[in-house]
Amino acid sequence: MDARLNLFHNPVAAKFVRHLVSSGKAVSDSALPAATQELVKIRASQINGCGFCTDMHTKDAAAAGETSTRLHLVAAWREATVFTDAERAALELTEQGTRIADAAGGVTDGAWANAAKHYDEEQLAALVSLVALINAFNRVNVMVQQPAGDYQPGQFG
């Protein structure tokens, strides 16, 4: 299967993706825990049906030492006992922020307050930015039908 559009060779798409990657540096350099960042990227990608991003971020998380049990349970985090309260708050915020169109009002005050119990303002800003960023990546990859399965951890440097 080939993508509908080559995101790396099309000048406009390549420039756009470079800017997305560059904006992600603000999040990756933040105090938001790296494991939480990967869980957020995985959960949003699952919701959006982005095989490419799900493949990429599960492999990157595994390469960084994440356990297979936690990776397998991201989609069922509510019932899983392997996530911290802080991670659960981040995953709830991720789900609500990703499913804005599905619920009038967007992110609930309760979900925000719960996240604010576990993350300071800088981390909340990083979390909000990350949810927006991964949703943008998901949408690009889903629209062009970017194939999944061949990603190698660290391949984009």
Q: Which domains does the chain have, with CATH numbers?
A: 33-141 (1.20.1290.10)
Please compute the mean of the pLDDT values over residues 134-157 and round it to a whole number. 94
Contact assessment for residue 119 and residue 86, using Cβ atoms and an 8 Å cutoff: yes
Q: How confident is the model at residue 134 (pLDDT cuts 50, 70, 90)?
A: very high
Please compute the mean of the pLDDT values over residues 32-57 and round it to a whole number. 98
Q: How confident is the model at residue 156 (pLDDT cuts 50, 70, 90)?
A: confident
CA dist list (Å): 86 to 35, 49, 138:
11, 25, 24
Entry pTM:
0.96
Q: How many CB atoms lie within 10 A of CB 75?
A: 14
Q: Above 90 in pLDDT, residue 36? A: yes
DSSP state of 84: -
Q: Above 80 in pLDDT, residue 157? A: no
Tell me the pLDDT tens digit for each residue of 71-119.
Answer: 999 999 999 999 999 999 999 999 999 999 887 778 999 999 999 999 9
